Structure 1
């Protein structure tokens, strides 16, 4: 750090490179999804719905999973409903609740787009990292996400566990003993 609490030159380069990398990765992924007639926002909603039991989530749960405000979620759902990708249903047991469900067309769309999405993420990011760098990136990502959760909810009120894999790393294969 610089003496005035700002970022030193190396820290500035890191922050700018990280921002540029993320922006360009997002743009490459968006282009790939667009070629499958989906937007990044579409895909961001389709994935958690595809993974949900019964391929549906309460609107409130979906909003929390994607970390969007109500207005953005509502507008995106409306657009996707008009295209036949999602359907709104009344929530059983809660007259005020709404379940957002993936339609057959939505499932087909996400399944069609997923291989291109995975290929783009793998080719432009994952395959460029060594196994040690993957572990380092995971550790850094979890630490930053934990700090963000703490900032939102206050110290001691949140522990980030959303994508933390608590399993030990795979052990090296033991050589056969004689």
Structure 2
């Protein structure tokens, strides 16, 4: 038998879904209008920017919680645009390590201030320090739950 959401749970769920959608849309527009890149482009640039030795596609995917096919397609597009380069992995000849190109690094350097400002304006300026702590606690708790939830595991395998 289905255990329907209470009015309060439904209100919280709708708020979470709407918030996620609006943030993705608004941040996507900010990055696209300002720098001609998507949120996915920025996320890859940001992760590779923090990895001076580069990252393998599987490690990049794990850090972003993306499916391998999504990572591969995104990296292929970015490689074609000259934002990332790929080199043979020194420890595993079958593996490839991705790095930012100079163009990719310049784009990240140009896009980061506006993106961070948009995140601060849209999210953190509306919260007190205690609310930021609560948000971090709640999101961490939910992510840990999803990581161990049998339903989520089954869905990831399908």
- What TM-score, normalized to structure 1? 0.80
Alignment of 1:118 with 2:120, yes or no, is no
Q: 1:151: Cα distance to partner?
A: 2.1
Output aligned runs, 1:18-167, within 5 Å. 18-35=16-33, 36-54=35-53, 56-151=54-149
TM-superposed CA distance for 1:102, in Å, is 0.7
Question: Structure 1 residue 11: deviation in Å?
Answer: 1.1
In structure 2, the residue matched to 1:13 is 11
State the alpha-carbon separation in 2 of the partners of residues 137 and 70 from structure 1. Answer: 29
Give 4+ residue runs of structure 1 displaced > 4 Å after superposition. Answer: none
Aligned-partner Cα distance in 1 for 2:145–2:79: 36
What residue is the counterpart of 1:166 in the other structure? Answer: none
Q: CA offsets per residue over residues 25-84 of structure 1, 9 Å max, x none?
A: 110000011021111110111111000133x11122111111222221111111101111
CA distance in 2, matches of 1:95, 1:131: 47
Look at both structures and tell me which one has the larger radius of gyration over its CA atoms.
Answer: 1
Q: Which runs of 5 or more structure 2 residues have no equivalent in the other structure?
A: 154-158
By how many angstroms is 1:105 displaced?
0.5
For 2:156, the equivalent position in structure 1 comes to none
Higher relative contact order (CA 8 A, sep 6+): 2
Distance, in Å, in 1 between the alignment partners of 2:52 and 2:147 is 26
Task: Determine helix, strand or coil for the equivalent of 2:4.
Answer: coil
Secondary structure of the equivalent of 2:85? Answer: strand
Question: Secondary structure at the residue paired with 2:21?
Answer: helix
Out of 27-36 and 66-75, give the one that drifted further: 66-75
TM-score using structure 2 length = 0.89
Equivalenced residues, count: 151
How far did 1:144 drift?
A: 0.6
